[in-house]
A and B are shown apart, each in its own frame.
Chain A
Amino acid sequence: MKRNYDVDVLIEKFKKKDKIALARLITLVENNPETTTNIFNNFNGSEKDSYIIGITGSPGVGKSTLVNALSKILLESGKSIGIISVDPTSPFTGGAFLGDRVRMTDVSLHPNIFIRSLASRGYKGGISRAVFDISLLYEAFGMDFIIIETVGVGQSEFDIYNLAYTTVVIMVPGYGDSIQIQKAGIIEVGDIYVVNKKDLGGEDIVVQMEMMLDDATIQSGWRAPVVMTNSITGEGVNSLIEKIMDHKEHLELSELLKEKKKHRFAYKIEELLSSKIGKVLESLISKDDLNKISNSVLQGKKFKIYDMVHHLFSNVKFEMKKSD
């Protein structure tokens, strides 16, 4: 039996808000990026802008459960939501165990929600390559909100910041002392900070976060708030939604939302260009060339590697035709 992925048929159904068509188009853009151009050409003129919320934090802090709790409230207020939940791909086998949806069973049957799990498939930065493309599909589908949940992140996986308009960083009691909180990276990208699992304590983290945020230089006119939640009981979740809406309003009233939107596309354009240049480079410099370099390194030339790479690259000529 053949599975049906006829783009024209799917687009027609998609435009009638058919979720099966949405699901299959996501499969196409995820598995065959070369189909994306053709698919996206069908949406020219669609002006719907969704509001994108990013949820990030270490493994096990309660991201999926919190997404479930947030969605419940947004759905009650009549909003439609597209969720993208990313979990890591094994670097050894390429397999993945995706366990985010299992926390969202409560809301999964609501007609105004669509949940898709993604494996990171080797993409660094806490998301996956297809996240941007799927967010565009959700916009074309007419979602009011898009919630992107990252993989459980470490200190330096904060690509979500490039895609989301409001980034929520989730922490839990026992995060670390005042030194941990001064570190660069994940702890500075939040527009809102959540200390989840408040039943386990966490007041000390809130105090330290507040002190750190008081000391931080604020350029955007937004001082990130800290909210305590218990995502299982729903405690504090209303207050989190309020903060998200406050931040949304802050961005809308200033020029910042426009900047964020522009940045989201600039980020993707840069990524697409580097990937194209990467492919050109691969075709110009053969595996044999690379092999030769690595071999000669082993023959007493290890301090020459910069010279050798420079030499190899000096023979590569990129040319770009100017066009209007």
Chain B
Amino acid sequence: MSKPGIDGHWRGGVVVSRGLRDAGMEVIFGGFQNVEQIVESAISEDVDVIGLSMHSGAHLTYTERVINLLKEKGVKDHFLILVGGVIPVKDFLVLKEMGVANVYGPGTVVRDIVKFIVENIKK
């Protein structure tokens, strides 16, 4: 679970991480990270899911950069990528077209994220 950039709204990322923990998952909390650090963490930790939590309005830029770097390293398809935060509905499709598996805006129930991960994890 990462927060790209320096947007200080931690609550969402922490609440979702806690929810996933309580669903029996191991969550590596990355906190503020730049694009290189996010990709490096995901690779080193060999995670199943990359969660990007953003409330700054920069979700399109950051997501695109993360995905481009993953592709550059040839590991994009190794991970399930989820984006959450204050994301306008009109951007959901844009993000999905970039290669994001699902997007979670305000009002999301953590249980739905758990269900999606369990059903879509790459084996």
Contact = CB atoms under 8 A, between A and B. Distances in A.
Interface of B: 17-18, 20-33, 36-37, 40-41, 43-46, 73, 75, 77-78, 122-123
Contacts of A98: 26-29
Contacts of B33: 105
A95 interface: yes
A194 interface: no
A36 to B, nearest CB: 16
A39 interface: no
Interface of A: 1-4, 19-20, 23-24, 26-27, 89-90, 93-99, 101-102, 105, 108-109, 114-117, 119
B21 A108 contact: no
Given A3-B123, A20-B43, A27-B46, A102 B21 contact: no
A94 B24 contact: yes
Contact of B32 (A26, A95, A101, A105): A105
Given A1-B122, A20-B73, A95 B44 contact: no
Given A3-B122, A20-B73, A101 B21 contact: no
A323 B77 CA distance: 49
A109 B40 contact: yes
A95 B20 contact: yes
Nearest to B21: A95
A3 B29 CA distance: 23
B55 to A, nearest CB: 18
A119 to B, nearest CB: 5
A95 B45 contact: no
Contacts of A26: 46
A109 B75 contact: no
B110 to A, nearest CB: 12
Contact of A1 (B26, B44, B77): B77
B122 A116 contact: no
A97 B15 CA distance: 11
A88 to B, nearest CB: 11
Given A116-B45, A119-B26, 10 more contacts: A90-B22, A93-B22, A95-B23, A95-B24, A95-B26, A97-B17, A98-B27, A98-B29, A105-B32, A117-B28
Given A1-B122, A2-B123, A27-B46, A95 B75 contact: no
A115 B37 contact: no
Contact of B26 (A23, A96, A109): A96
Contacts of A2: 122-123
Nearest to A114: B44
Given A114-B44, A115-B44, A99 B26 contact: no
Contacts of A94: 24
Contact of A101 (B17, B24, B30, B73): B30
A158 to B, nearest CB: 24
A301 B15 CA distance: 49
Nearest to B77: A1
Contact of A19 (B21, B23, B32, B43): B43
B45 A90 contact: no
A109 B21 contact: no
Given A96-B26, A102-B29, A102-B31, A109 B122 contact: no
B27 A96 contact: yes
A1 B27 CA distance: 22
A95 B19 CA distance: 10
Among A19, A97, A115, chain B packs the most CB atoms within 10 A around the CB of A97
Contacts of A117: 28, 45
Contacts of B78: 3-4
27 contacts: A20-B73, A20-B75, A24-B46, A90-B22, A90-B24, A93-B21, A93-B22, A94-B24, A95-B22, A95-B24, A95-B25, A96-B21, A96-B26, A97-B17, A97-B21, A97-B27, A98-B27, A98-B29, A101-B30, A101-B41, A102-B30, A102-B31, A105-B32, A108-B40, A108-B41, A115-B44, A116-B44
Given A20-B75, A95-B21, A97-B17, A109 B37 contact: yes
Contacts of B23: 93, 95
Contacts of B18: 97
